[in-house]
Amino acid sequence: MRSRAGRFAIVGLLILLPLLLQQIDDYILHIAIIIGIYAILSLSLNVIVGYAGQFALGHAAFYGIGAYTAALLMLHGSASFWLALAAAAAVTGLFGLLLGSPVIRLRGDYLGIVTLGFGEIVRLIFVNWVDVTRGPMGLPGIPAPSLFGHAFTEKIEFYYLILALVLLTYFIINRIVHSGIGLNLLTIREDETLAQSVGIRPNQYKLLAFSLGACFAGVAGAYWAAYISYVSPDSFRYLDSVNILAMVILGGTASLPGSILGAILLVLAPEILRYMNDYRMMLLGLAIILMMIFKPSGFWGEKHRKYNFYGLAQKGGRK
Amino acid sequence: MDELLKLEKVSIRFGGLHALTDIDLSVRTGEILAIIGPNGAGKTTLFNLLTGIYRPTSGTITYKNRVINKLKPYERVKIGIARTFQNARLLKNMTVLENVLVAHPQCNTESVLEAIFLTGRRRERRAAIAQECVEVLKAVGLDHKLDVLAGSLPYGEQRLLEMARALVTRCELLLLDEPAAGMNPAEKKQLVEKIRQLSREFNIEIVLIEHDIGLIMNISDRIVVLDHGVKIAEGSAAEIQQNPKVISAYLGGEDDWD
């Protein structure tokens, strides 16, 4: 079992990392930031796919809705980044609820297809609603976040911002999945009839998972808009949804450290394999297939799950 | 005697199939009622009607003087009806304690904010909830296996775990769907005692479906016999044994009750 001290050590290391590497270059920081964004996305998708067991394929849509919401608010509403961040989370959460309500009645493949359709519709809206989104040209010139009058310009500042957001996301999702709610979600995933027969309302909890997952994807989107200072429909394609899903599955469903591991692996791998040019995507595909065959529960799968949510059984059980 | 649950002319049809026709039935306080019948008689369908998985096509189901025809399964759990399944349905990759926790009404209604802002008071509450679950597990005799994965329990213990899970919902009416299926005679004997003990200890009414006639005769205060979706007999074990209709329906005319 990982101790509290271990967790503090990891966080401490992440805070000090840029300082330790004195001559850190912007490229490495950029990769670290992208890992952070995808960590939030895969953590949030894990709530929907891993815990609630809803095989959703449209996560990039929530990411995009968050990004556009924040971008439009900052550009036209001249809202601060922090307000835009909160608004993006709320708006995408609401969209999660909207998508969730029809979709939770579906199962398996059908759910996959509908969420995939949702992702495509949202992307097409970004492309075609030219009056608002400027279509494929995107929205440039999004102002950088500022804190106490100091505007973020350096990459290092963005690194700390995303680190804080990842930690916040991890903290909140971790608390939720290790509560009665998480237990309910796992029960629904395993057996809905059983869940009902012990007094759980499956639909209510599936909706909760959808809006929670969407909400944090919106946070990632808002950050992305502010970091790149430009949003366009190209960043929120079907391929991105699949990529996030691959992170969740590769890292391990229903495992939060797994999601982060998945994000690290799938952001790093294409960068490391860059010298192989055209072959890198093929290799990545092969790696995922092999993974599915030999280790279907992911690198850090549920086997590592902390048993007994309330942590009391060990005392009671080993007298 | 008080009637906790009452069925009046309850029928259910699936398309042209009359699964149950005009069933009248009541569960009185303080008794163990058994439902028997040959395969396909409609026993499990009746259970699904009681737990809300199906809705009756006609007739009324009354629980504590309230018509519950339309209540969903989770709503019925809240008013005190719990069940077990024919083939132990457990969360196999979760521990014994987790399997019971999930049914605890205060565990599975935790709110998002309570979960995020885990206050000291909430932590204490959780400890108390877990303790209550341990107590129930103690009653069925599984408190020494809290950390064992449910899937790795022997079959008999899985059935007991299911019962513990139903009990922790604080039910007043417990429906057991073939609790002794797949058990050996020794386990069955223990089970009978366990069911009697739980019924007294938790002060609950029990309705059970069972195939094992010996067990039924032993445990139940009253027996209802179904055949082809119709109630053909009702009475004490002795009365049922004598009933010619039951003998012909259930045993095809042969008499091998013991």
The pLDDT tens digits for B60-89 are: 888 888 888 888 888 888 888 888 888 888
Q: Answer whether residue A52 is part of any domain.
A: yes
- Give me the pLDDT at residue B210, please: 82
Using one digit for the tens of pLDDT, what is the confidence trace for B183-204? 888 888 888 888 888 888 888 8
Band of pLDDT at residue A212, cut at 50, 70 and 90: very high
Q: Which of A185, A204, A310, A314 to mutate to test the interface with B (most CBs of B within 10 A)?
A: A310
**Nearest residue to B38 via CA among B231, B226, B183:** B226
The H-or-E segment that residue B250 falls in is: helix B244-251
Is residue B173 classed as helix, strand or coil in its secondary structure? strand
Whether residue A183 and residue B51 make contact (CB cut-off 8 A), yes or no, is no
Q: Answer whether residue A246 is part of any domain.
A: no
Q: Which domain holds residue A181?
A: 37-236
Task: Indicate whether this complex's ipTM tops 0.85.
Answer: no
Q: Answer whether residue A96 is part of any domain.
A: yes
- Give me the pLDDT at residue B153, please: 86
Q: Answer whether residue A274 is part of any domain.
A: no
Q: Residue B153: CB partners within 8 Å, gap ≥ 6?
A: B96, B145, B161
Q: Residue A172: CB partners within 8 Å, gap ≥ 6?
A: A216, B116
Q: Answer whether residue A275 is part of any domain.
A: no
How far is it, in rounded angstroms, from Cα B197 to Cα B163?
12
A315 pLDDT exceeds 50? no
Q: Where are the alpha helices (DSSP H) in chain A?
A: 4-20, 26-46, 59-75, 81-103, 108-128, 130-133, 155-177, 180-190, 192-197, 202-228, 238-251, 256-272, 279-294, 313-317
Q: For chain A, what is the domain count?
A: 1
The H-or-E segment that residue B208 falls in is: strand B205-209
A234 pLDDT exceeds 50? yes
How far is it, in rounded angstroms, from Cα A25 to Cα B173?
68
How far is it, in rounded angstroms, from Cα A290 to Cα A48?
24
Cβ contacts below 8 Å, chain A against chain B, sum to 125
The residue behind tokens 């591991």 is: A261
Q: Would you give the DSSP letter of residue B95?
A: B
Whether residue A199 and residue B97 make contact (CB cut-off 8 A), yes or no, is no
Residue of A nearest to B80 (CA): A199
Whether residue B115 and residue A175 make contact (CB cut-off 8 A), yes or no, is yes
Using one digit for the tens of pLDDT, what is the confidence trace for A221-232? 999 999 998 898
- Residue pair A172/B116 in contact by the 8 Å Cβ criterion: yes
How far is it, in rounded angstroms, from Cα A203 to Cα A182?
14
- Chain B residues in contact with A183 by the CB 8 A cut-off are 98, 101-102, 107-108
- Give me the pLDDT at residue A2, please: 53
Whether residue B91 and residue A307 make contact (CB cut-off 8 A), yes or no, is no
The H-or-E segment that residue B224 falls in is: strand B222-227
Band of pLDDT at residue A65, cut at 50, 70 and 90: very high
- Chain B residues in contact with A208 by the CB 8 A cut-off are 112
Using one digit for the tens of pLDDT, what is the confidence trace for B204-213? 888 988 877 7
Whether residue B98 and residue A208 make contact (CB cut-off 8 A), yes or no, is no
Q: Answer whether residue A53 is part of any domain.
A: yes
- Residue pair B181/B87 in contact by the 8 Å Cβ criterion: yes
Domains of chain B: 1-80+209-258 (3.40.50.300)
Q: Answer whether residue A298 is part of any domain.
A: no
Q: Answer whether residue A63 is part of any domain.
A: yes
